[in-house]
Structure 1
Amino acid sequence: MKKVPTLDIRRYDTDRAAFVAELGNAYREYGFCCISGHGIPRELIDGAYESFQQFFALPAETKMKYNVPGSGGARGYTPYKVETAKDSKYADLKEFWHIGREIARDSKFADVMPPNIWPSEIKDFQKNGYGLFEALDQLGSRVLRALALHIDLPEHFFDDKIDQGNSILRPIHYPPITEDNVPNVRAGAHEDINFITLLVGASAEGLEVLTREGEWLPITTEGDAIVVNIGDMLQRLTNHVYPSTSHRVVNPQNENSRKPRYSVPYFLHPNPDVVLDPLPQTVTADNPSRYDTSITSHEYLLERLREIKLI
């Protein structure tokens, strides 16, 4: 039976060539890999989850104080049934919060990366939320170093292309399903927009990835593993060597559908001015360039946010 592999990232320092080869092969095959041995403290992850659950338990009118109309949900709170998977008839059954990168307000990217909003009702929300943002940002940059080596780029190729990235930590609450014939999966089949996504807390069942053979493969993690998948921007930059794979969140066919589900993906984005043209290393006779127009990551992001009805 096929299974998305789990690889220990500590092997990057002890067994680099083999680790890079296995990681690269996992991404070429699935667009997904589970990463263990990352060293993010359990207390930080648990503390962040606790803060997020406390926020989602607040009354709707309190949460709506943190909704910023017209912002595409870039920061703060987005209520249920707003985001809609591309080409889906139904809105997703979820509410979520966005934490973005803290940048200097005189940065050239300040107009596209607004300051964060923090809910005053939850004591450690900012400390836990931004602590997890930074930890996942650092882990993501380590994964990208290995991915760079796999396609014959310098190890640190991505470092200066993500240091001001418009990245997002998105705590999500999927409410318990109370009706028997709900049309929606909790989150419709979609690909991610960004470079890579790191998902903390895929221990709850429901996440499924579409294999090359067209079958839905469930992913659940064990221990400290974090699910890391390729997004459309990296797929474009690597001329589809690293595929961005369709995935969805389905309702479990058991009593767990009656329980709320929480997950916290971190969407690692390149800096807004990075041009997403296929890299020469990924263009070959067997894999000619699939794109003949240039686009920056920010232009690409806006295009996609319109498609999923966030702007």
Structure 2
Amino acid sequence: MAIQTQAKIPVLDFSNENLKPGTASWSSVREQVCRALEEHGYFVAELGNKVPLELHDTMFDAVRELFDFPTETKRKVIYEKPYHGYSSIANLHERMMIDNATSPEEIQRVTSIFWPDGNDHFRESADSYVRLMKELDQMVTRLLFENYGVEKYYDPHMDLTTRTLGFLKYKERDIDDDDQIKTGWSRIEGLPSHADKHFTSILHQNRVRGLEIKTKDGEWICFEPSPTSFIFLAAESLQVGLRQILMVFLN
């Protein structure tokens, strides 16, 4: 399983159904994951047939329908955490963040806000989608913990981990190239450059090339999305841990 590069983004193959701890393929991908996150802080996870095209299309169709609801309906999705639930920024960016998304009861609660009579298609698809992302996150985290000799902390870490499912809608921003360079705003996304604050993030796009990633050399690169490819990012908490580990190894 060789690492490929898509415009300087490592691409790792997670489509193998037999990718299990203790196998040769597991050891190989463990080395690749750690190298990619140490050197870049991100990689593309290619899941292949693990992501049915129907699931991808259903989720994005449902998200479009969800954002078409009246604002007063969307604002009923509320959580105590700042910027969770529904929020919007200057008519450029809408976001719906569902806390505790691995709980079928929570998915059902949010579903009932928009579809009081039920929407089994959305609920079941959201549950399947979240379960798929949870499995990917657990696998990558286990690979990291094993590689750095802290696997005994894997289970306690997972017990304390909560997951959020985010739906995001961006509108095109009318700025020129000079403004984009000065402000860090993307014309396509309408969102300033930023780093996530938590441990890991998994991003999945529709077919619009809206995501740009900044390399360690300061270059902004685009990602060519597909229904089966996901960007796996080391967020700030994990990046700090990786830097500390590397300092120990180098010293």
TM over 0.5: yes
Which of 83, 86, 98 is residue 73 of structure 1 equivalent to? 83
Counterpart check, 1:130 vs 2:127: yes
The size of the alignment, in residue pairs, is 224
SS at match of 1:62: helix
Correspondence for 1:144:
141
Matches within 5 A, 1:1-311: 3-9=8-14, 10=16, 12-13=19-20, 14-37=24-47, 39-64=50-75, 66-68=76-78, 71-74=81-84, 76-81=85-90, 93-101=92-100, 117-118=110-111, 119-121=113-115, 123=119, 124-154=121-151, 157-177=153-173, 179=174, 184-185=185-186, 186-201=190-205, 203-222=207-226, 224-236=228-240, 238-240=241-243, 284=248, 286=250
Letter of the 1:3 partner, please give it: K
Looking at structure 1, the residues matched to 160 and 153 of structure 2 have their Cα atoms a distance apart, in angstroms, of 14
Q: Deviations over 1:148-186 (max 9, x none)?
A: 2332332x7423312342321101011244x45587422
1:232, CA displacement in angstroms?
Answer: 1.1
Closer, same or farther: CA 7–203 of 1 in aligned 2, 3 Å: farther
1:28, 1:191 → 2: CA distance?
16
Cα distance change of structure 1 residues 187 and 222 upon mapping to structure 2, 3 Å threshold: same
Q: Which letter does structure 2 place at the counterpart of 1:226?
A: F
The 1:232–1:176 alpha-carbon spacing in structure 2 relative to 1, beyond 3 Å, is same
Distance (Å, rounded) in 2 between the aligned partners of 1:19 and 1:43: 28
Q: CA deviation at 1:203?
A: 4.2
Q: Against the structure 1 CA distance between its residues 198 and 70, is the aligned structure 2 distance closer, same or farther, given a 3 Å change threshold? A: closer
Q: What amino acid maps onto 1:27 in structure 2? A: L
SS in 2 for 1:149: helix
CA distance 1:15–1:68, shift in 2 (3 Å)? closer
Stretches (4+) displaced over 3 A: 11-14, 67-71, 115-118, 179-184
Instruction: Give the deviation of 1:42 after TM superposition.
Output: 2.8
Q: Give the TM-score taking structure 2 as reference length.
A: 0.75
The verdict on how the C-alpha distance between 1:96 and 1:102 changes in structure 2, with shifts beyond 3 A counting, is: closer
Q: State whether residues 100 and 168 of structure 1, in contact with CA within 8 Å, keep that contact through their aligned partners in structure 2.
A: yes
Percent identical across equivalent pairs?
20
> 1-side partners of 2:142 and 2:99: how far apart?
22
Higher helix share: 2
| Deviations, residues 120-140 of structure 1 (Å, cap 9, x unaligned) | 337243332233222211211
Contact 1:24 1:147 (C-alpha < 8 Å) held by counterparts? yes
RMSD: 3.2
